[in-house]
Amino acid sequence: MRDFPSCFGENGVQVADSSSSSSRNSQNLVTCLYQAQLCGRPCVITVTWSKSLMGQALSVGIDDASNQCICKVDIKPWLFSKRKGSKSFGADNGKADIFWDLSAAKFDSAGPEPLEGFYVAVTFDHEMVLLLGDLTKEAYRKTNACPPPSNAVFIAKREHIFGKKVYCTKAQFCDNGQVHDVVIECDTLGLKDPCLDIRIDKKRVLQVKRLPWKFRGNQTILVDGLPVEVFWDVHNWLFGVPTGNAVFMFQTCLSTEKLIPLSCSQLVRDSQLQGQAFSLILHAWRTE
């Protein structure tokens, strides 16, 4: 399983570079991680939605607890492929199937994720492991699968967002929790003392002044009564390529101890221990 790149070290030092301006146009994508069970054994399902000039695309992969890939399917841009189908994989002690129907899916004009009119289903030996989308009845009818003994848990999301000085997304900081509007505002062009503001549901939860001196850092906020550690790295906005990206991470924790950003495998272990750990990684790209 490919880990999310860790964008911060223990002291806030950037240790991974995904800010190449040449790759910005190809990175309109959202990657989601779900912790699930295959015959009682933990696994992680990675779902990646992407959008390019060739159309929308989808990738679904299943990895076991040791980070070994069980199966993966890449659905090419829909300009050249069917918007519904299925694929089967042989696995240890059973068979995995991935089904999708995006033929009636409706999308936001800017993002790669569908809003409604679709399903993506993962089954193992005719048991539903993961079901995404609002076409629940259609998915169960197509897969002939039975409901799982426990639902998959949404544990991490990585998203690329775009803007001039305001960057917006939606986030769910705990499984089955409220969906919040997240707004990051930062105008660095021509200002001697730029300021970073982060708002959740129109309420300011974090403000960083003297940003040229505090271009990397972290602070704890409260969302839904849970402590959420916010990390930011806006070095590229201030000192790097003008069209480069800043990186933000929102990481929930059930204790008052501050956490450092985790890799995918660490996220899985942490979610197993804490039950509600979730990380949101945002790559914020400035557009002209």
> What is the per-residue pLDDT across 219-255, written as a single tens digit (0 to 9) for each?
999 998 889 999 999 999 888 776 679 999 999 875 4
Is residue 210, in this structure, part of any structural domain at all? yes
Q: Look at residue 19 and tell me whether its pLDDT is greater than 70.
A: no
Question: So what's the pLDDT on residue 7?
Answer: 43
Is residue 19, in this structure, part of any structural domain at all? no
Same domain? 201 vs 86: no
Question: Which of 133, 153, 173 corresponds to the end of one domain?
Answer: 153
- C-alpha to C-alpha distance for 166 and 90, rounded to whole angstroms: 46
pLDDT tens track for 57-114: 999 999 987 888 888 899 888 877 778 899 998 766 678 899 999 999 998 777 899 9
Is residue 238, in this structure, part of any structural domain at all? yes
Is residue 140, in this structure, part of any structural domain at all? yes
* pTM given for the model: 0.81
Number of domains in the chain: 2
Same domain? 147 vs 174: no
Phi, psi of 76 (to 5 degrees): -65, 165
Question: Which of 129, 153, 177 corresponds to the end of one domain?
Answer: 153
pLDDT tens track for 123-137: 998 899 999 999 999
Same domain? 185 vs 239: yes
Same domain? 37 vs 59: yes
Q: Is 56 exposed, middle or buried (0-12, 13-18, 19+ CB in 10 A)?
A: buried
Is residue 118, in this structure, part of any structural domain at all? yes
Question: Which of 135, 153, 171 corresponds to the end of one domain?
Answer: 153
Same domain? 164 vs 278: yes
Is residue 282, in this structure, part of any structural domain at all? yes
Name the residue range of residue 237's domain: 159-286
Q: Look at residue 27 and tell me whether its pLDDT is greater than 80.
A: no
